Structure formats: C-alpha cells, structure tokens
Amino acid sequence: MPEAIAPTTAPLPAREHLETLVGDILAEARAQGATAAEAAVSFGSALTVTVRLGEVETLEHHRQRGLAVTVYHGRSRGSASTADWRPEAIRDTVQSACAIARHTAADPYAGLADPERLAREIPDLDLYHPWTLSAGEAIELARECEAAALALDPRIRNSEGGGVATRAGLVVYGNSHGFCGGYPTTRHSLNCSVIAQDTEGMQRNHWYTVGRDRDDLETPVAVGQQAARRALRRLGSRRLETRRVPVLFAPELARGLIGHFVAAIRGGALYRKASFLLDRLGTPVFPEFVTIRERPRLPGALGSAPFDSEGVATADRDVVANGVLQGYVLDSYSARRLGMRTTGNAGGAHNLIVEPGPLGHEELLRQLDTGLWVTELLGHGVNLVTGDYSRGASGFWVEKGRIQYPVHEITIAGHLNEMFEGVAAVGGDVDVRGGIRCGSLLLERMTVAGE
C-alpha cells in the first residue's frame, strides 16, 4: 500500500476556536432564556489497522466532531447534541435543549457544579504526543507484530491478527459560572492475538501495549512474541474438579476486580441503592494492608485529567486507607442526592493506584501454595447489587508454589464482599495499562467449579 495514504490524525483545531464555540453556545442559551448552561465541544481523529496472516483486514480513518449542551430552566434540565458546528446548528441544538427543559419536571438536585469547586489552574499533564504515522507505516508495524508471533514457534499455527491504533483528540468544556477549559490528548496501541496448536488441541491468547506517547509502547516484536508465548503455555489445558481453593488474579485481571469495587462506590449506584457496598463509608472493606489512592494528575498517565467533565478540579486523595473506605466516586448530582460534595469524578475515577506489596510473581505463587492462578476471564457474571460474582476462567493449577499444568473450561465464584475482605496479598507486579494500576491479587479462597 503506498505511503501517500493520509497520515494517522488530522491536525487538531486550535483550542481557542473550540473555546469560542463554547462561548457562542452559552451565549445562545442565555438568549433563549436558560438560567444556566454548560457545553462541550470535541474533535478527534484516529487510524485503526488490523492485519491477519499478512493481509490487511481493516483500515479505518475516523474524524469526529461534536458539541453537546445542557441547559437549566430553574431546576429543570434539557440536553441536546449535534456534529454540526455552524451557527444555525448551534441555535437549533440549544433550542432543542430548551424545549426539553421546559417539558421536564424540576429536579432539586440538578444544576452545575458549585463555582468554588471549579478548576482555577489547568496544568499541562503531558497527555498529548501525536504520532504522524501513515497508513502504510501502520500496516507494516501490524505485520511485524504478527510475523514475530508466527515465527516464535512452529506450534503457532494461526492468527487472529495484529493491530495498530492511534488517536488524538481535543475537548473544551465551559459553563455559565465562567469556567472554560480544555486540553488535547493522544492514545496509541499495538496488539496481537494468535492460536497455538498441538496434538491435544488449540489455544488462543493475546497481548497489547498502550500509552500516550509512542515511545512508551513495547516494540511490535515484543508484543507479538509475548502473545505467542501466552498462547503456547495454554497448550495441554485440563479441567478441574469442583473445589474451594486460594486464587491468584494476574495483574490485568486484578484491575478488573478493582473496577467492580469502583462501580459499587459510584454515586449513581449508591443513591439508587443498587450497590452491595451501601453505607460502608468509614468501615473496613479490604484488609488493613490495602490502600487505594487516586492520583489524577500523574504526568503522561492514561487516567490523568486536570478537571472532570463538569470542570471540577481533580485532586489527590485516598479512596481506601488501611483497608477502610474513605470516600465515594461522586459527581455533583449524585453528591447532592447523597447529601455530600462532589469528589471531582464526573466521568469516572482518575488513576486509581492500589499500593503494591513487596512480592513478585514467583513469591506470590509460593504464598498461593496450592490453588489456581487465573490469567483469563470470560463472561459478565457480576451483580453489583448483591455482590455475587461468577465468571468463566482459565489459568494454571499450582501445587506447592509451582505451576503444574494449564486449566480451562472452569468457573470461579464468590461474593465480592468476601473476596475484597479476603485479599491475602497485593503483588508488586503492577500493570499500568489503564486508569487503574494494580499488581496481582491473591484471594484467600473461592469456589472453582469444573467437572
């Protein structure tokens, strides 16, 4: 494919242009009778390439832009959005939002974030590192990644593909309290998924790398070879008889467990009384050695943000300290419903870090002694209302701290309350590929259902 194909991302518009659009939207809202308003204008462009067995399967360029406005008529709220930035489109979009607000019942908790909570300074968090990658170059990187996996071992017989994705975006948010701010971001990734086969059957696995800066990514060869090694170690998988044993979650899966915890302490779940962690503030939810910190302003991190989607300044805090739940994950609306103050988490949490323990992977296996090391989860059997947890899994059976054989077609089950309280160790093998940073988690006991 020729190198003349368009580069990965269109140049971002000037931030000042988006700020002007936000100002125009807010002015139009005032002119149409809104007592308060907030608006966001966004632009993004991306390139995604996937290659399978050396042939291009997908090549997608995306350019997206939009604007969204929420108006308030007293405590009645209406929202509308469009991808059209023309003045007449802005007028029509605001008109639609106002019409909705006029026909919506008043909500005493609705409204903009409190003015004193809005960000006064917007630091540069090093979140923008554009990658001027042509489509041809992206294809060659994906091929290199896949080829490295296929060449590692003759038992790698097939591929589900190698891929490259890169995106740049800019969002500007403003409201009628006088706040207006925005910042550009980038996100780049490489991935590979392959299939290993021997006389006993086939097993697939994958690997990926992701970062704000292309220089933070693993090489295509490293990604492909890791995907291949992960598939190869799954060969010869067996099933297990049902039992209750200690379970060690790999870091990339432990991050998901912490994600369930975060979902259970989000304001929306709490004020709807749809969480198994209702009324647990100030009580132990993890063992004493577990601390979870929110660090929203880490330079270059995937979860960093100087302010949330309501313009509220983000700040460091401990969500869990010495096992005790210190705070919820709240936006302004849910905070008012709960009689509390926003935690600056409109749009989600930012860089939650589970403080790592001293043990590496081999030491964790020794502490596990006899039990299951889980490396892959399937399905979505998690009920945040009751806390019930049941998911398909695969991994490795461990005896006396040593891996014995791979296992598959099993289910692990428990209750999230008991699972969190039963954390026996947090590993030092932290996975930083996301907004939650966590090492392996060793749980005292879960039910493993098999044959």
Residue 188 has pLDDT above 60, yes or no: yes
Q: How many CB atoms lie within 10 A of CB 322?
A: 13
Looking at residue 14, the DSSP 8-state letter turns out to be P
- Phi-psi group of 140: left, alpha or beta (phi > 0 → left; psi -120 to 50 → alpha; rest → beta): alpha
Closest CA to 374 of 278, 447, 297, 280: 447
* Residue range(s) occupied by CATH 3.30.2290.10 in the chain: 15-231
For residue 20 the two structure tokens come to 């002007």
Q: State the pLDDT at residue 8.
A: 52
pLDDT tens for residues 348-395? 999 999 999 999 999 999 999 999 999 999 988 999 999 999 999 999
Q: State the pLDDT at residue 450.
A: 85
Residue 7 has pLDDT above 60, yes or no: no
Give the three-class secondary structure for 158.
Answer: strand
**153 and 228 in contact (C-beta within 8 Å)?**
yes
Provide DSSP, 311-371: SBBP--EEEEETTEE---B--HHHHHHTTS---S-TT----EEE---S--HHHHHHHH-SE
pLDDT tens for residues 55-74? 999 999 999 999 999 999 99
Q: How many CB atoms lie within 10 A of CB 139?
A: 21
Closest CA to 61 of 8, 97, 105: 8
Roughly how many angstroms between the first and final C-alpha of the chain, as a whole number?
A: 51
Q: How many CB atoms lie within 10 A of CB 4?
A: 8
- How far is 164 from 129, CA to CA, in rounded Å? 16
Residue 2 has pLDDT above 50, yes or no: no
Name the amino acid, one letter, at 151.
A
CATH of the structural domain 15-231, one choice from 3.30.2290.10, 3.40.190.10, 1.10.3470.10, 2.40.50.140: 3.30.2290.10
Q: Which helix (H) or strand (E) holds 237?
A: none
Residue 4 has pLDDT above 50, yes or no: no
**328 and 338 in contact (C-beta within 8 Å)?**
yes
Residue 10 has pLDDT above 80, yes or no: no
- How far is 144 from 154, CA to CA, in rounded Å? 17
Beta bridge partners of 193: 161, 206
pLDDT tens for residues 77-126? 999 999 999 999 999 999 999 999 999 999 999 999 999 999 999 999 99
Task: Give the pTM.
Answer: 0.93
